[in-house]
Amino acid sequence: MKIGVLAVQGAFIEHKNIIEKLGVKCVEIRQKKDFKDIDGLILPGGESTVQGKLLHKLDMFNLLKKEIENGLPTLATCAGLILLADKIENQKNNHLATLPVKVKRNAYGRQLGSFITKADVGHLNNFPQVFIRAPYITDVYSNVSVLSKVDEKIVAVKYKNQIGLSFHPEMTDDYRIHQKLLEMAG
């Protein structure tokens, strides 16, 4: 099995380290050819506007969208979730638009920009959630399952082959969500 982590910008190394700790090969995706033979994909946190621009500049946008639409198991965190979202509040342009949700960027404001809490994520009890200038999900469409809410705000969803998270599981030593991706990819 081989997992790819999008490595054009942002917190990709942390994800790679976890996948390797779990005993699975992980490649950094920096160009089109790196998509070859991957069984699962991670879209890391960082800056969604920069990541979106780089995907076009590196000519990876259409391939990435097609792979996800064709069912490649995908775990997206924070900026990654924004890349997947069909709608972005107060913003005209979206990115991959493979996940039928609406997100609000930097939704917790500047004061409360970063915080840590614990909440259930689907059947995973008490998952540590690290939020860093995080988005949350303001609306879900189609058959999107809500996996987690914090203070009434949706912070984790699943839709077919895609898991979208507002928070950063790669900044904790709880690997259960990464394990879930490996199950989906296996």
Query: Any idea which residues carry the catalytic annotation?
Result: 78, 168, 170
Question: Any known ligand binding at 105?
Answer: yes
Told to check if 7 binds ligand GLN by CB under 6 A, we report: no
Using a 10 angstrom Cβ sphere, with 0-12 exposed, 13-18 middle and 19 or more buried, the burial of residue 95 is buried
Told to check if 102 binds ligand GLN by CB under 6 A, we report: no
Q: How far is the CB of 143 from ligand GLN (least distance, A)?
A: 26
Nearer to ligand GLN, 46 or 169 (CB): 46
Select from 61, 147, 124 the least CA-distant residue to 98. Answer: 61
Told to check if 100 binds ligand GLN by CB under 6 A, we report: no
Told to check if 104 binds ligand GLN by CB under 6 A, we report: no
* Beta-sheet pairing, 2-6 with 136-140: unpaired
Told to check if 176 binds ligand GLN by CB under 6 A, we report: no
- Helices 176-185 and 12-21 pack at an angle, to 10 degrees, of 70
Q: How far is the CB of 18 from ligand GLN (least distance, A)?
A: 17
Told to check if 114 binds ligand GLN by CB under 6 A, we report: no
Q: Which of residues 39-98 bind ligand GLN (CB under 6 A)?
A: 45-48, 78-79, 82
What residues contact residue 6 under an 8 Å CB cut-off, 6+ apart?
12, 29, 41, 42, 43, 44, 51, 64, 80
